[in-house]
């Protein structure tokens, strides 16, 4: 074997160093691209989470800004624990109008339109007795209470007392209100 000349030896060593440098550069560049893809994915995830947080904060601000409107809206509906107070309100309106009130039934029903929700319809049947003016005043007072009610059925009959010849009006009402 012939010993390699010094220039050939330097050439081979330089060639090996160059090949090692190219291989390490290729490895380093592929490593950087993999990390760049991971960083890009993390960056996208970060921006998605930032957008979600911004939307959540916007929703929280809307809820906070509409608290008064929400309270006003809630006051239109009867909550389960307010049913007794609702009946007492009807009774107080009858006294205010000067008529006799007889509550026949209080019940809860579901309708097809609200079956899928957690609300029900409160149904109150009652009878009144008094003058025409008092009956009309009572109906006006009932229609204008803070709850959103519907007078579903109403019948008004006039009776004349044979002894006193005084007219009395007997009325049957069915009112409905949304119970939440």
- Domain spans in the chain, listed from the N-terminal domain onward: 7-65, 80-179
Q: How far apart are CA 26 and CA 34, in angstroms?
A: 12
User: Quick one: tokens of 45?
Assistant: 């995830």
Widest CA span of the chain, in angstroms? 150
Average pLDDT of the segment spanning 26-37: 86
User: Is residue 163 scored above 80 in pLDDT?
Assistant: no
Are 106 and 87 in contact by the 8 Å Cβ rule? The answer is yes
Place of tokens 């009878």: 127
Is the model's pTM score more than 0.75? Answer: no
- The model's confidence at residue 49, banded by pLDDT at 50, 70 and 90, is very high
**CATH class label, 80-179:** alpha beta
The answer to whether residues 131 and 167 touch, using CB atoms and an 8 Å cutoff, is yes
State the Cα–Cα distance between residues 175 and 98, nearest whole angstrom: 20
* CB of 110 closer than 8 Å to CB of 165: no
pLDDT at 40 over 60: yes
Q: Give the model's pLDDT for residue 25.
A: 87
Higher pLDDT, 73 or 141: 141
Pairing relationship of beta strands 149-160 and 120-130 according to DSSP bridges = unpaired
Which runs of E-coded beta strand occur in 1-117?
100-109
pLDDT band at 2 (very low <50, low <70, confident <90, very high): low
Taking CA atoms, 15 is separated from 6, 24, 161, 165, in Å, by 14, 14, 127, 130
Degrees to nearest 5, angle at CA 113 with 177 and 84 = 20
> Which position has the token pair 């309270």?
71
- The answer, yes or no, to whether residue 100 has pLDDT greater than 60, is yes
The rounded mean pLDDT for the chain is: 83
């Amino acid at each position: 074997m012939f010993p390699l000349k010094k220039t050939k030896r330097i050439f081979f060593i330089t060639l090996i160093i160059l090949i090692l440098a190219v291989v390490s550069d290729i490895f380093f560049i592929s490593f950087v691209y993999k990390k760049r893809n991971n960083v890009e994915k993390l960056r996208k995830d970060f921006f998605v989470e930032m957008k979600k947080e911004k939307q959540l904060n916007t929703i929280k601000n809307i809820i906070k800004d509409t608290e008064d409107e929400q309270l006003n809206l809630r006051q239109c509906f009867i909550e389960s624990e307010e049913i007794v107070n609702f009946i007492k309100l009807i009774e107080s309106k009858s006294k205010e109008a000067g008529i006799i009130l007889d509550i026949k039934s209080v019940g809860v029903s579901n309708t097809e339109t609200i079956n899928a929700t957690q609300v029900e319809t409160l149904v109150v049947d009652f009878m009144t007795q008094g003058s025409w003016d008092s009956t009309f005043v009572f109906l006006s007072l009932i229609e204008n209470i803070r709850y959103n009610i519907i007078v579903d059925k109403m019948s008004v009959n006039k009776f004349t007392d044979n002894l006193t010849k005084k007219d009395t009006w007997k009325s049957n009402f069915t009112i409905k209100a949304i119970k939440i």
